[in-house]
Structure 1
Amino acid sequence: MAETPSPTEPIETTLFITVSGPPGCGATTLCERLADAMNCPYVSGGDIFRELADDRDLSLNQLTAKADASEEIDRALDQRLQSIAEEWGMVNKPFILESRLAGWLAGNRADLRIWLDAPEDVRLERIGDRMETEAEMRVREVSEAGRYESYYEIDIDDREFYDLHINTARWSKSGVFELVRTAIEEYDAEIDEGAFTTSSVDVEQ
């Protein structure tokens, strides 16, 4: 039986949060609920990808094929995400940015960087209704990792700088949300001794 979310209590915060993870990690579910509780905007890499497709009058499949053939699309996507991170990193208002590279692109502008994951078989079951096969998911993850390293010298497996790393297979959707809620509500800038730093990512061509 599907989990029925309970009414969400508001979260009072001004934190800029990034959420990242592989397909099927539960990022969309968490971000939607966080945005509702924090009463703040939420932007995902998928949103920007769809905007790029509309800008170019292409279908999502056509833009995906173009991205596989050229770095121009990936860089355009990452430039928009980084610009959004730069803007929201200066306003002292709550905001959520979600993409595989959100934590890298936001860098030290973000107040809280989260990595979500789950065992591969769990993620495959979750994305079953997206018409993506196991082989396709694996190829996409390997391809993306190679592009990130080629373009920006980013090792996507380097997760040291994330403040939270959660295996979403171990808790319910509500449980994952409550873990993150606690981290947000218990955060106190006055006792924060420092996040791990990251090098700036140059997304210009």
Structure 2
Amino acid sequence: MIARRCSGGKKGPTIAVSGPPGSGKTTYARRLAEDLGLQYYSAGMIFREVAREQGVSIEELNRIAAEDPSIDLEIDSRTLEIGCRGGVVLEGHLVAWVLGGVADVRIYVTAPLEVRIKRIAMRENRPLADVYRETVAREYMHWRRFLDYYGIDVNNLQIFNLVLDTEPLSVEEAYAVIKTYTCRLLAKKGFRLEACSR
């Protein structure tokens, strides 16, 4: 298990945005980082970096990772390292759990499965049945992996400061909730971000 503590001081807040595929987490995390003047990272970016370093495709690294837990542990370790620097918004299905107490704000965005499947199918121009199979399998793997590696049930959302169902809201409405909440919580924790006062 990786330690969820930082050895040095952070340079600014660390915000974790998690949620299942098709929830909108990437959209909101990118925009939050841009608006608040923070760096943006995703678990996907870190995964691609590891694939490049190993000289394999993303698909190949996925196959290797299914058999070799050290790949996921390396990605988690790098995620923690980035979170410990501060001044960052990190996004990914599992990043909030990886960052543990390192994150100053932990946001979980979600939507009903059928809504998320439609969003992904539309975005990727793929058949609903294929997206459904792939998404359900992916979510099960994430749940199983964290239970096996860390003893953490990712269906338990108690670690989050904000849990938001994006289905009944427009992108703008959901983002307004996320930004307002994030700014208020950061202010309570002593962070003064100029973008939050605008």
- Alignment TM-score > 0.5, same fold: yes
1:99 maps to 2:92? yes
Aligned residues: 173
Matches of residues 1-205 of structure 1 in structure 2 within 5 Å? 14-88=12-86, 94-128=87-121, 129-130=123-124, 131=126, 133-187=131-185, 188-189=187-188
Give the CA deviation at 1:119: 0.5
Classify the secondary structure of the residue corresponding to 1:186.
helix
Instruction: Tell me how far apart the structure 2 counterparts of residues 47 and 190 of structure 1 sit (CA, whole Å).
Output: 29
Give the CA deviation at 1:15: 3.2
Unaligned runs of 5+ in 1: 1-13, 89-93, 192-205
Task: Report the residue type matching 1:139 in the other structure.
Answer: A
Unaligned runs of 5+ in 2: 1-11, 191-198
TM-score (norm 2): 0.82
Instruction: Tell me how far apart the structure 2 counterparts of residues 185 and 166 of structure 1 sit (CA, whole Å).
Output: 16
TM-score (norm 1): 0.79
For 1:10, the equivalent position in structure 2 comes to none
Classify the secondary structure of the residue corresponding to 1:61.
helix
Alpha carbons of structure 1 residues 190 and 151: separation in structure 2 relative to 1, 3 Å: closer
Query: How much is the aligned-residue C-alpha RMSD, in angstroms?
Result: 1.6
Classify the secondary structure of the residue corresponding to 2:173.
helix
Task: Report the residue type matching 1:109 in the other structure.
Answer: V
> More displaced, 162-171 or 181-190?
181-190
Instruction: Tell me how far apart the structure 2 counterparts of residues 139 and 72 of structure 1 sit (CA, whole Å).
Output: 21
For 2:195, the equivalent position in structure 1 comes to none
Task: Report the residue type matching 1:23 in the other structure.
Answer: P
> More displaced, 176-185 or 16-25?
176-185
Q: Which deviations, in whole Å up to 9, do the C-alpha atoms of 1:4-41 show, x marking residues without a partner?
A: xxxxxxxxxx5321000010010111011111111110
Task: Report the residue type matching 2:151 in the other structure.
Answer: E
Give the CA deviation at 1:136: 1.2
1:26–1:116 Cα contact (<8 Å) kept:
yes
Classify the secondary structure of the residue corresponding to 2:108.
strand
Give the CA deviation at 1:186: 2.5
